[in-house]
C-alpha cells in the first residue's frame, strides 16, 4: 500500500528561520517527480523554488499564498509507492526520495541526525524519568542535538531552555517546536518573569498607512538596527579628482573586448587598498573579544531592486581582474532585479562597496553591513571647479566616504585606506605598483 510522507519546509541556509509562501506550483492530486519544485517561497534574502525530495501524489498542502511558515513546518504530504516487503516503515519509504534538502544550495544529502536508542520496557525495571512532561526513554548522548529548525533553537535559547533535557516527538527523536512550547508551558515561572501577552496588531488610524516589516524589508531593518546597536562606527570622507579614472575607463572600452564598468574599477581599487590595510577586511567576534581578519576579499555591493535593498557578494574579488569583476557585477545585479539571488550569493561578505552616486547624491554616511568592519561609499561624479596643476579647471570630482568599525582600527588606518583609494582614483597608474 502507498505511504503518505510529510515534507517540511527545509532549512534554507544562512540562519533563515521562516519563509512566506508566494505561489504554489502544484495542486492536491498532482503527481510530482522527485526534486520537482512544489512551492515558491520568499525568504528574507531571496525568492526560492523549493523542490520536494519525494515522488508521488500530493495529498495535502499546508498554508495559503501569503502565509509565513517557520522552518520545519509541514509544506505538503505526498503518497509514495508501495512499501518495501520488509515492512521497515519510514526507513523504506525514504528510498522513494532523493535525499536532497534544497537543490542548488550546496546540500546533496539530507543531514544525518542522531538516532535515539528506544528500548523495550524490562519487567521489574523502574520507569524512566519523565522529560518535558512526557515519558522519557534512555538515549544515546553522543552526537549533535536532534534539532533541524533554527527557530526551535532560538525559542529555546531565548527562554533559557536546555535542549538536551528534552525528548523529541518527531522522527528519530527530532525535537520539534511543539516539544519546546510544551516544556515552556509545563515549567513553573515566577509571576515577575512571565512574558507579557503579545500585543494585538495595530489598526491604522485615519491618515495612516501601516506596512508590516517582514520578509526582505524586515531583514534589512533588523540588520541595520543591529549594526547601529553593536558597532561603534565612525566616518571619514574626501573629495577626489576622478578625471583620469574616467579617461582610463574610456580608453579601456575603446580598445575592444568586453566593456569594463566603473564599479569594477572601483572594486579593483578597493581590493588593492585592503591588501595594504587588511585591518578593514575583518569582523569582530564579540564573544571571544577578538578581531578576525580575512585573507580573502568577498566584496559586497549595494544594489537597489523592486524588492528593496540587497547586497550581493562577489567571491574572491581580490583574485579577479576588471573584466571578470564587470561580468560578475552584471550577473548578480540582474539576479537581484529578477529575485533569483540565492542565500549563498547574499551572505559571507567581508567588505562592502556602496555606489550611491547612481541616485544623484554627492555624499552619505553608510551604515556598516553587519558583521563586516567597513564600507566604502562613492558619490556621483560631476564636473566641478578644481585646482589642477596650479590652475583652476573644471574636473570630474567625486566624494568618497569610509565608515569603519572603530574597534578594528584607529583613524590613522582608516584615513590611510581612504587616502590610498583617492590617490588611485586621481592617478590610476598608482594601481600598477600593486599588480
3-class SS of residue 30: coil
Kindly list the structural domains of the chain, giving each domain's residue range(s) and its CATH number in brackets, ordered by start.
2-96 (2.40.50.100), 140-188 (4.10.320.10), 232-434 (3.30.559.10)
106: which 3 cell numbers?
550546496
Model confidence at 318: pLDDT above 60: yes
Lowest average pLDDT, out of 28-37, 127-136, 170-179, 348-357, goes to 127-136
Half-sphere exposure of 289 (CA within 13 A, CB side): 0
Q: What count of other Cβ atoms lies within 10 Å of the Cβ of residue 374?
A: 28
Model confidence at 313: pLDDT above 50: yes
Q: What count of other Cβ atoms lies within 10 Å of the Cβ of residue 197?
A: 6
pLDDT of residue 147: 61
pLDDT of residue 252: 92
Pairing of strands 374-378, 130-131: unpaired
Comparing 71 with 248, the larger pLDDT belongs to 248
β-pair partners for 47: 42
Q: Cα separation of 280 and 298, whole Å?
A: 13
β-pair partners for 42: 20, 47
Return the percent helix, strand and coil in the chain, to nearest 5: 30, 25, 45
Q: Cα separation of 242 and 375, whole Å?
A: 20
172 — pLDDT class (breaks 50, 70, 90): low
Model confidence at 161: pLDDT above 60: yes
Comparing 82 with 159, the larger pLDDT belongs to 159
Lowest average pLDDT, out of 109-123, 147-161, 190-204, goes to 109-123
pLDDT of residue 145: 61
Q: Cα separation of 316 and 267, whole Å?
A: 11
Half-sphere exposure of 264 (CA within 13 A, CB side): 23
DSSP count for the chain of H helices, then E strands:
8, 21
Looking at every residue in the chain, the average pLDDT score rounds to 80
pLDDT of residue 312: 94
pLDDT of residue 281: 98
278: which 3 cell numbers?
587588511
Nearest to 25 by CA among 71, 76, 94, 79: 76
Half-sphere exposure of 426 (CA within 13 A, CB side): 18
Percentage of residues in the chain having pLDDT higher than 70: 76
3-class SS of residue 271: helix
Lowest average pLDDT, out of 1-15, 129-143, 280-294, 337-351, goes to 129-143
Write down the H helix ranges in 204-320.
Answer: 215-230, 243-253, 262-276
Model confidence at 248: pLDDT above 90: yes
pLDDT of residue 325: 96
Helix 262-276 vs helix 411-426: angle between axes, to the nearest 10 degrees? 140
Comparing 162 with 201, the larger pLDDT belongs to 162
267: which 3 cell numbers?
572594486
CB-CB contact of 314 with 301 (8 Å): yes
pLDDT of residue 85: 42
Nearest to 351 by CA among 397, 409, 426: 409
Asked if omega into 371 is within 30° of 0 (cis), the reply is: yes
Lowest average pLDDT, out of 2-6, 101-105, 315-319, goes to 101-105
3-class SS of residue 361: coil
Q: Which helix (H) or strand (E) holds 423?
A: helix 411-426
Q: What count of other Cβ atoms lies within 10 Å of the Cβ of residue 36?
A: 16
Query: Catalytic annotation on 406?
Result: yes
Query: Residues 423-427: what's their mean pLDDT?
Result: 96
pLDDT of residue 337: 86
Model confidence at 20: pLDDT above 70: yes
Q: Cα separation of 317 and 295, whole Å?
A: 12
155 — pLDDT class (breaks 50, 70, 90): confident
Lowest average pLDDT, out of 91-95, 177-181, 254-258, 412-416, goes to 91-95
Query: Residues 75-88: what's their mean pLDDT?
Result: 66
CB-CB contact of 372 with 291 (8 Å): no
Lowest average pLDDT, out of 251-255, 303-307, 354-358, 363-367, goes to 303-307
pLDDT of residue 193: 45
pLDDT of residue 182: 76
- Tens digits of residue pLDDT in 46-78: 677 888 888 899 999 998 888 888 888 999 999
200 — pLDDT class (breaks 50, 70, 90): low
Comparing 183 with 294, the larger pLDDT belongs to 294
For 302, residues 6+ apart whose C-beta sits below 8 A from its C-beta are: 309, 310, 311, 352, 353, 354, 355, 356
In the sheet with 47-52, reading across from the earlier edge strand, the strands are: 47-52, 36-42, 18-24, 68-70
Q: Cα separation of 102 and 39, whole Å?
A: 12
Q: What count of other Cβ atoms lies within 10 Å of the Cβ of residue 2?
A: 15
Model confidence at 102: pLDDT above 60: no
Query: Residues 412-421: what's their mean pLDDT?
Result: 97
Write down the H helix ranges in 39-176.
Answer: 90-93, 150-158
Model confidence at 418: pLDDT above 90: yes
* Cell numbers 519523565: residue: 130
pLDDT of residue 342: 82
pLDDT of residue 106: 33
Lowest average pLDDT, out of 163-167, 213-217, 249-253, 396-400, goes to 213-217
Nearest to 397 by CA among 266, 249, 239: 239
Query: Residues 360-367: what's their mean pLDDT?
Result: 90
CB-CB contact of 87 with 60 (8 Å): no
148 — pLDDT class (breaks 50, 70, 90): low
Amino acid at each position: 500500500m502507498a505511504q503518505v510522507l510529510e515534507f517540511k519546509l527545509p532549512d534554507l541556509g544562512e540562519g533563515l528561520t521562516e519563509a512566506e509562501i508566494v505561489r504554489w506550483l502544484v495542486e492536491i492530486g498532482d503527481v510530482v517527480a522527485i526534486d520537482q519544485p512544489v512551492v515558491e517561497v520568499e525568504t528574507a534574502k531571496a525568492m526560492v523554488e523549493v523542490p520536494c525530495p519525494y515522488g508521488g501524489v500530493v495529498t495535502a498542502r499546508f498554508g495559503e499564498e501569503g502565509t509565513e511558515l517557520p522552518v520545519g513546518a509541514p509544506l505538503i504530504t505526498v503518497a509514495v509507492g508501495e512499501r518495501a516487503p520488509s515492512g521497515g516503515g519510514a526507513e523504506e519509504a525514504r528510498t522513494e526520495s532523493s535525499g536532497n534538502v534544497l537543490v542548488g544550495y550546496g546540500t546533496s544529502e539530507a543531514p544525518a541526525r542522531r538516532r535515539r536508542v528506544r528500548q523495550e520496557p524490562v519487567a521489574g525495571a523502574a520507569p524512566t524519568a519523565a522529560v518535558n512532561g512526557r515519558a522519557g526513554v534512555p538515549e544515546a548522548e553522543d552526537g549533535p542535538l536532534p534539532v533541524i529548525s533554527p527557530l526551535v533553537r532560538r525559542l529555546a535559547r531565548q527562554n533559557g531552555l536546555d535542549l538536551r533535557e528534552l525528548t523529541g516527538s518527531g522522527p528519530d527523536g527530532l525535537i520539534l517546536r511543539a516539544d519546546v512550547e510544551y516544556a515552556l508551558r509545563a515549567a513553573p515561572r515566577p509571576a515577575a518573569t512571565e512574558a507579557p501577552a503579545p500585543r494585538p496588531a495595530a489598526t491604522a488610524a485615519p491618515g495612516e498607512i501601516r506596512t508590516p516589516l517582514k520578509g526582505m524589508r524586515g531583514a534589512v531593518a533588523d540588520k541595520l538596527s543591529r549594526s547601529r546597536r553593536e558597532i561603534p562606527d565612525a566616518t571619514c570622507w574626501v573629495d577626489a579628482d576622478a578625471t583620469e579614472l574616467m579617461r582610463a575607463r574610456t580608453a579601456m572600452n575603446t580598445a575592444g573586448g568586453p566593456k569594463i564598468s566603473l564599479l569594477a574599477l572601483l572594486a579593483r581599487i578597493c581590493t588593492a587598498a585592503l591588501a595594504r590595510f587588511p585591518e578593514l577586511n575583518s569582523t569582530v567576534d564579540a564573544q571571544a573579544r577578538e578581531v578576525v581578519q580575512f585573507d580573502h576579499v568577498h566584496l559586497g555591493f549595494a544594489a537597489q531592486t523592486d524588492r528593496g535593498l540587497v547586497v550581493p557578494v562577489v567571491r574572491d574579488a581580490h583574485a579577479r581582474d576588471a573584466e571578470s569583476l564587470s561580468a560578475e557585477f552584471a550577473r548578480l545585479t540582474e539576479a537581484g532585479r529578477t529575485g533569483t539571488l540565492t542565500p549563498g550569493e547574499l551572505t559571507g561578505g567581508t567588505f562592502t562597496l556602496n555606489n550611491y552616486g547612481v541616485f544623484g547624491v554627492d555624499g552619505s554616511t553608510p551604515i556598516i553591513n553587519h558583521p563586516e568592519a567597513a564600507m566604502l561609499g562613492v558619490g556621483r561624479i560631476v564636473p566641478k571647479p578644481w585646482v589642477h596643476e596650479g590652475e583652476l579647471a573644471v574636473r570630474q570630482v567625486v566624494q568618497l566616504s569610509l565608515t569603519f568599525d572603530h574597534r578594528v582600527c584607529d583613524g590613522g588606518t582608516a584615513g590611510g585606506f581612504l587616502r590610498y583609494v583617492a590617490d588611485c582614483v586621481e592617478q590610476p597608474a598608482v594601481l600598477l605598483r600593486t599588480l
